A and B are shown apart, each in its own frame.
Chain A
Amino acid sequence: MPRPWWEHALRLDRRLLFVAVALAVAIPVLFPLGLPVVPGKESRDFFAALEQLQPGDVILFSFDYEADSRAEMDPMTRVVWRYCLGRGVRIIALTNYAGGPGVAEPYIELATKQLGQVYGEDVVFLGYNPDYSGTILRLGESFRATFPADQYGRSTADFPLLQRANRYADTKLIVTIAASSLAEYWTIWAHGKYDAKVIAGATAIQAVHLYPYYQTGQVSGFLGGLKGAAELERLAELPGDATRGMDSQTTGHAVIVLFILLGNVAYFAQRRRKS
């Protein structure tokens, strides 16, 4: 006797599900849909913090992600760097991840080779420090003491930018693009102890952690995942990978929801049959 349809559905080979999700994500890459992206309040506040920066202001930028989260995080970083450097804002960069220097290198090149920024005066890359908690706390006292040498081994005491700005109080903003709880830690330690203004870009999962801090004003704005990155691209009028990626994310989510609904319909059909 052939098995009822709901038994097949409840025992669905997960590989079918994997193929469906793969197709749902891949097809919009080949055939873009151009679906709308409407910025939310959190993204608008993130962008507002960038808009308030004046030429000559110094910000601290932390690459708190590695190669695995590049797809979600790089679009945020790209917009922040292009927007800020385009307005004459100076950037002191660092990373709390061992793989962070590899992610940061293209942006240092973007700044110095494509946008004509002078290393040491307009942009400095401090590099990686293994102890994130000590680093975030120590930076509040002195950037130069925390990083006596930059990523390339040069003494940080020699850089005009670090003579101008040597601690949080000398900067206008801290921007952390974080794939982990580091966005929370920057908020707790840099804002909580030193009253620094913090905005954060986070993966979609980690962004959920930031809502309590955002509601109380401890973090001034944040971006959540690829959607947040797409919203920032829209606000800054710098469309890129995130906007294009939203098509795939939309169809991917839709397919997963359809399968969940199918599973539930099958479940109720089974229950009715059994009763």
Chain B
Amino acid sequence: MIPLQDATGFQATRWPELVAALALALLIVVWIVRTRRSSDVFVRRIPGLEAVEEAVGRATEMGRPVLFIPGMDSMDETGTLAAVNILGQVAARTARYETRLLVPCRDPIVTNVAQEVVRAAYTAEGRPDLYRADDVRYETYGQFAYAIAVQGIMLRERPATNFFFGRYYAESLIMAETGNLTGAIQIAGTDSDSQLPFFICACDYTLIGEELYAGSVYLSREPRLLGTLKAQDMAKAIVIVALLLGSLATATHLWTRP
């Protein structure tokens, strides 16, 4: 059998992926155009995101900082992109309420991006003086060394609010349980479904899967992001219909797997 990479021209076996990608791109463009004309688009209530404002307010009242963990992965992961988007929204609120924001990072690239995002958010709120470069810093790349570093920050700084957004692995429970011990209000959002049970046990609110991706859309209500969210929902509806039809066809032997 000729390895796929040695074939030349159009890879005919991959036509379903090409059709799906082009269809999704078309849906995104169409919906962005629609939401630009009218951004009155229904997005269902997501309790975890509704609680962000209240959580930052709690930290302000208690005079304690807010801790934001942007996940364990680098910027090429969608979960991290979503987390950094939400970080911008959280940073805007902490700047507005003059609350200290701590963002320990595991990845060097994420650190640079997080610093830019937080600085830009503080500047946009007219409070560039409140930005502290030391508070948005690189800790270590070691998975558990990072978890222990975060644990140390939680026990020393005693943040009133902890945000866990992004992609997580086995270290998630160490951080979430420690945060629970310190009495902080905790909001988590991850697309790592293996870590969801731990966050659900230890956090007050948990965003599941694509609720994380909807996060920055929900908080900013930016039309082009709303359009993308609607396009995703529409694509999911198409997939559900296809799954139902396919299951029915297979169950009734109208179609058999080649």
Contacts and interface: CB of A to CB of B under 8 A. Distances in A.
A and B touch in the complex (CB under 8 A): yes
Interface of A: 66, 68, 98-99, 133, 140-141, 167-169, 179-181, 193-195, 203, 205-206, 208-209
A164 B129 CA distance: 61
A195 B14 CA distance: 12
B4 A194 contact: yes
A208 B198 CA distance: 14
B74 to A, nearest CB: 9
8 contacts: A66-B143, A68-B143, A167-B5, A180-B169, A193-B5, A194-B4, A205-B194, A206-B169
Given A194-B3, A194-B4, 16 more contacts: A66-B142, A167-B5, A168-B3, A179-B169, A180-B143, A180-B169, A181-B169, A193-B4, A193-B5, A195-B3, A195-B4, A205-B195, A206-B169, A206-B194, A208-B194, A209-B194
B138 interface: no
A203 B170 contact: yes
Q: How large is the interface on B (under 10, 10 to 19, 20 to 34, 35 or more residues)?
A: 10 to 19
A101 B5 CA distance: 30
Interface in B149-167: 167
Nearest to B1: A195
Contacts of A206: 169, 194
B61 interface: no
Contacts of A98: 141-142
Instruction: Pick from B5, B144, B192 the residue with the most CB of A within 10 Å.
Output: B5
B73 to A, nearest CB: 9
Nearest to A169: B3
B76 interface: yes
B142 A99 contact: yes
Nearest to B192: A181
A137 B3 CA distance: 15
Contacts of B76: 133
A197 to B, nearest CB: 12
B5 A194 contact: yes
Nearest to B4: A195
Given A66-B143, A68-B144, A133-B76, A205 B170 contact: yes
Contacts of B167: 181
Nearest to B73: A181
Nearest to A205: B194
A167 B76 CA distance: 24
